[in-house]
Amino acid sequence: MKISVIGAGYVGLTTAACLAEIGHHVRCADNDEGKLNLLRSGKMPFFEPHLDEIVHRNIIAGRLQFEIPENAVVGAEAIFICVGTPPLENGEADLCAVANVARTIAQRATGNCLVIEKSTVPVQTAQKLKRQLQQYAGKGLQCTLASNPEFLREGSAIQDSFHPERIVVGVETEEAEARLREIYAPILEQTFKCPVHTSCTHAQKPAWIVTDTNSSELIKHASNSFLAMKISFINMVADLCEAVGADVTKVALGMGMDPRIGSAFLNPGIGFGGFCFPKDVQAFVRIATKAGCDFSLLKEVENINKRRIEHFVEKVRQELWVLRDRKIALLGLAFKPNTDDVRFAPALELIRVLVREGAVVSAYDPQATEKAKAVLPGIRYCSSPYEAAEEAEAIMIATEWEEFRDLDWDHMKQIIARPLVVDGRNMFKPAEMTARGIHYISIGKLPAFSVDDGLSNSSTSIASPGELQAVLK
Ligand code: UDX
């Protein structure tokens, strides 16, 4: 099918590349000529595992082109709107880019064309889009509207696109549903050869969920807000664990075994970030408020998340007392591993707080350094975790990159000023770190102490707060 994808960001470029890979002829459009040229030359505007290979292959096969929106929509049988919907000051989504695309489609698209809204938008946007398209449509254009939210995660966007658990389509006509089925047929039936097969964890046929456009739009916001709620919930449980002497990892394990709860998204840490959760939770609260529903539950999800950084910094303050002139190594800048995205990354907020208190921060990230530098100059960015850790009085872990699991702690101990690791992502077993001679502080657990401290460092035996205080004194 001839498909246009408008917007060459994370969602648009991934969608375009994957649709081309399953056999469609795709024109991917963006207003940014620089980005189009970069893509035409085979370079990626951001890091996403496997995306570059798929883009290259499909450019060469002649199934993927990059154009400006005015040209890309001409003659398309289906047009995916994948432009950004960033947050406005008041938390609502800014729909200017979506509205501009609608005008371009109305003026330039031709024939019988299905317009599919994939960007995350407030409920009832499809209805508004439909009115706008009807208002501005040129002669000979017959447009139908559909909503088809994306659920792809940065870092595993390709895998999520080829092997989704569900495909949600909000449609008003059977014809629209049929066209969407045709587009997704290879994925629905899993009949294509998966280009990233080795790293795929599941390949079952996805559920096909057909709804009206309003429900489809709500599914996206409700899903992301629910996941954010799970994270804030477990973060509060982690605080409680610290206060009473319990282990959040075990609590989460016990909770997650109940299939009604599920074990995913129960990892405590320094809070959720990225371009989706913070903005989607905020936008959902606004949507509810405008509709006359006070979703105060979600306001608390946001508040808990905002407090995470302060809670984390307090852990290092407890150890170093005054942070002024203290050298701190920060490992991880991206909002999560396997991406170079630093938008709303907790690590950047953490750096701001540390710098405000006078700490001297050296940071390392395997992918996100350049993007972090652009928004947060003025600290030292390093090319290895060891360079960042030289003479540091504390190592703080903000992103759970796989490569941090293999750090050479014996070498670290020789170069750092003090063997203190404050881990915001619970990457290590406290007892193992203690055995390596590292004073290890994580989230939702009491620190493990060496046998010499008089407390067991076994992961099942946990000191009571009273015992702990005695040892700390
Ligand atoms: C999210 C949704 O998962 C995806 O379905 C949607 O389409 C886009 O938004 P993404 O923003 O890529 O995807 O990140 P995700 O993997 O969901 O993580 C979001 C944040 O939550 C990260 O900062 C991550 O570190 C944090 N997180 C996640 C936790 O703190 N604990 C967890 O248990 C899980």
Span 403-428, pLDDT tens digits: 999 999 999 999 999 999 999 999 99
Question: What percentage of the chain exceeds 70 in pLDDT?
Answer: 93
Q: What HEC string does the chain produce?
A: CEEEEECCCHHHHHHHHHHHHCCCEEEEECCCHHHHHHHHCCCCCCCCCCHHHHHHHHHHCCCEEEECHHHHCCCCCEEEECCCCCECCCCCECCHHHHHHHHHHHHHCCEEEEEEECCCCCCCHHHHHHHHHHHHCCCCEEEEEEECCCCCCCCCHHHHHHCCCEEEEECCCHHHHHHHHHHHHHHHHCCCCCCCHHHCCCCCCCEEEEECHHHHHHHHHHHHHHHHHHHHHHHHHHHHHHHHCCCHHHHHHHHHCCCCCCCCCCCCCCCCCCCCHHHHHHHHHHHHHHCCCCCHHHHHHHHHHHHHHHHHHHHHHHHHCCCCCCEEEEECCCCCCCCCCCCCCHHHHHHHHHHHCCCEEEEECCCCHHHHHHHCCCCEECCCHHHHHCCCCEEEECCCCHHHHHCCHHHHHHHCCCCEEEECCCCCCHHHHHHCCCEEECCCCCCCCCHHHCCCCCCCCCCCHHHHHHHHC
**Backbone angles phi and psi of 127, in degrees to 5:** -65, -40
CA of 153 to the centre of ligand 1 (A): 7
Q: Which of 82, 113, 241, 276 is catalytic?
A: 276
Question: Which residue's CA lies nearest to atom 7 of ligand 1?
Answer: 151
Confidence at residue 178, expressed as pLDDT on a 0 to 100 scale: 98
**Is pLDDT above 50 for 441?**
yes
Supply the mean pLDDT for the chain: 92
The mean per-residue pLDDT over the stretch 18-29 comes to 98
**Backbone angles phi and psi of 384, in degrees to 5:** -155, 160
CA of 277 to the centre of ligand 1 (A): 7
Confidence at residue 281, expressed as pLDDT on a 0 to 100 scale: 96
CA of 414 to the centre of ligand 1 (A): 35
For residue range 423-432, list pLDDT tens digits in order: 999 999 999 9
**Is pLDDT above 80 for 311?**
yes
Closest CA to 20 of 49, 46, 57: 57
**Is pLDDT above 90 for 188?**
yes
Ligand 1 atom closest to residue 345's alpha carbon, by position in its atom list = 23
**Is pLDDT above 90 for 458?**
no
The question of whether 194 is a catalytic residue gets the answer no
**Backbone angles phi and psi of 200, in degrees to 5:** -80, 135
Question: Which residue's CA lies nearest to atom 19 of ligand 1?
Answer: 272
Confidence at residue 137, expressed as pLDDT on a 0 to 100 scale: 85
Question: What percentage of the chain exceeds 90 in pLDDT?
Answer: 88
Residues sharing a CB contact under 8 Å with residue 103, sequence separation 6 or more, in sequence order: 132, 136
Confidence at residue 324, expressed as pLDDT on a 0 to 100 scale: 97
For residue range 37-60, list pLDDT tens digits in order: 999 998 999 999 999 999 999 999
Ligand 1 pocket list (CB less than 6 A): 150-154, 224, 227, 231, 265-267, 269, 272-274, 276-277, 335-336
Confidence at residue 464, expressed as pLDDT on a 0 to 100 scale: 39
The mean per-residue pLDDT over the stretch 266-277 comes to 96
What is d(CA 372, CA 200) in angstroms, rounded to the nearest whole number?
A: 30
CA of 380 to the centre of ligand 1 (A): 27
